Amino acid sequence: MTAVEDRRSAELRGIARAGTISLIGSAASAVLGFALVVQVSRGLGAAGAGAFSVVVAVAMTLAVAGRFGTDTALVRMAPRLRALGRARDIDAAAVAALAPVFAGTTLLAALAWWAAPHLVDVVFEHPAPAGAVWLIRVGVATVPLAATGYVALAVTRGLGSVVPLTVVESIAKPALRCAFVGIALAVAHRRWPGAELTAGPVLWTTIAWAVPTVLGGLWAAVLAHRALRSVRDEPSTEHVGAKATWRELWRFATPRAAASACEIAGMHSGIILVSALAGVAEAGIYNAALRLALAGTLALQALRLAIAPTLARLLTVGDLDGVEHLHRTASVWITVVSFPLYLVFAAWPTEVLRMFGPGFQAGGAALAILAAATLVNLATGPVSTLLLMSGRSTLTLVVTAASLTFSVVLAVVLIPRYGVLGAAIAKGAAVVGENIAVTLIVRRSVGVRTLSRPLVRAAVVGALCFVVPAGLYQLVAGHDFPAAVVVVLLGTAGYLALLWRHREEFSLADLAAALPLDRLRPRRPKVGPRSSKENR
């Protein structure tokens, strides 16, 4: 191997290692998030779960908007400043991000608290659920520490470690939410037997969800302080000062802030619109389908977290070939890992939704549409991350705002007539359009071609092993769930065999090298050199 190939292989293995850590965290977060949805759905019913999910959507929308794009800015700037020999400016960049975020979100939460009686009429169908004002107030009270904590973890991520983000955001907070919500539901239903949408159970559940957010924000601040302290000893060849660093960060973060608000609004606007236009019961069903559609994007989320600092560094030094190779390989890995689950969701959506309880099967068609749109999102890989790390946050804003506008307008037109299905069509169309647009922009403005033959072949392999058998099975046997499980298992066996055949083309050796498989093998005892007496 040449020096360039060695370096690229080392970069891939580093990305795979960080991606594996993030994937473990994302898997834990998805399982715990899924468990939380099941807990709330079964504990509060479709209407109560819908009210809870609307409050969570409002709180998360404000928290993500309140980051003002500084989380992405720090992930880009920290490795960039290191590559430029400006390690001393990383401290100033962190302060430039954290101070305005905490101040701004505190003001935002105070305004939302005061405006809660007016927000009730906006986000809930009339008549609003009992205690809706206090539901909103509890949710918005979490916004300052939720936003500031995530930005603090972006500092550690930009400095090269995804472990703090994984532990706090993906494992600790979701686990505590499940535990606290379970206790709250048990206590609430003991006090209000048989209650679903009464103020007590829903309010207690919302408070239980909020407490881990506050604890996580405080923990994140401690971890960021430790990470910054370790950077202060690094040598710097250049130092531009705090004012220039603040300007540089906010020049990137300002359009990114608006784009982040559009992204989170696009994620949760469907739930809010379904609640307002079709009722909280329909919102609960849509939330379950949307959760499943998001739960399987684990590999994409993990590699986005892992790949961003390396992309920023390679783009800073002008290594476009390295960027293209890294992105293409990551896209193949995402496709290989994630496609099978979404193909199963698309084939048997109604059966999958049964686990949420009675009434949720009505979202089967919506889940199938969301799964199909997510396949496109997965196939394009971390293309949005590439565009952001190139510094083109304004272009990202334009695309994201257009996608949100299209999604909301289409949802307003379709939801009154088609309910959950209309919301899914609007969301799916926006996802597909946005990914195609970003892919074309990256090719023209950055000069990187993200699609490749291995990517197409990986997608075809998944389709042959899951889509074709599922289609034939549906024609012959219909919806016999136990037999469908057998079909999925057989498809998985064939899929693994084809992956082994194409392992070199898909760079699976570099991915496997990041897994701790060597720890699972029995270690042979070390045999030292024999003494002179033993040799005689």
pLDDT one-digit tens code per residue, 167-220: 999 999 999 999 999 998 888 777 765 544 456 678 888 899 999 999 999 999
- pLDDT score, position 214: 92
Cβ pair 29, 168 in contact under 8 A: no
- pLDDT score, position 167: 93
Residue 523 has pLDDT above 50, yes or no: no
pLDDT band, very low/low/confident/very high, at 290 (cuts 50, 70, 90): confident
pLDDT band, very low/low/confident/very high, at 128 (cuts 50, 70, 90): low
Q: At what angle do helices 280-295 and 420-441 cross, to 10 degrees?
A: 40
- pLDDT score, position 111: 92
- pLDDT score, position 319: 84
Write the CA distances from 295 to 26, 417, 534, integer angstroms. Answer: 9, 28, 61
Residue 462 sits at the vertex; the CA angle it makes with 400 and 334, to the nearest 5 degrees, is 45
- pLDDT score, position 190: 74
- Stretch 344-364: mean pLDDT: 79
CA proximity to 452, closest of 506, 385, 503, 498? 506
**What is the amino acid identity at position 348?**
W
Helix, strand, coil percent content, the chain, rounded in steps of 5 = 85, 0, 15
Q: List Cβ neighbours of 359 (8 Å cut-off, separation of 6 or more).
A: 46, 281, 285
- pLDDT score, position 360: 80
* E-assigned strand segments in 63-177: none
Of residues 487 and 145, more confidence is placed in: 145
| Summary mean pLDDT of the chain | 82
- Stretch 250-266: mean pLDDT: 85
d(CA 231, CA 182): 41
pLDDT band, very low/low/confident/very high, at 5 (cuts 50, 70, 90): low
- Stretch 373-388: mean pLDDT: 90
- pLDDT score, position 258: 86
Least confident of 36-50, 143-157, 507-521: 507-521
- pLDDT score, position 399: 93
pLDDT band, very low/low/confident/very high, at 509 (cuts 50, 70, 90): confident
Residues in the chain: 536
- pLDDT score, position 34: 82
CA proximity to 60, closest of 155, 147, 121? 147
- Stretch 514-525: mean pLDDT: 46
Residue 515 has pLDDT above 70, yes or no: no
Residue 124 has pLDDT above 80, yes or no: no
- pLDDT score, position 236: 64
- Stretch 408-420: mean pLDDT: 92
The pLDDT > 90 percentage for the chain reads 26
pLDDT band, very low/low/confident/very high, at 291 (cuts 50, 70, 90): confident
- Stretch 126-149: mean pLDDT: 84
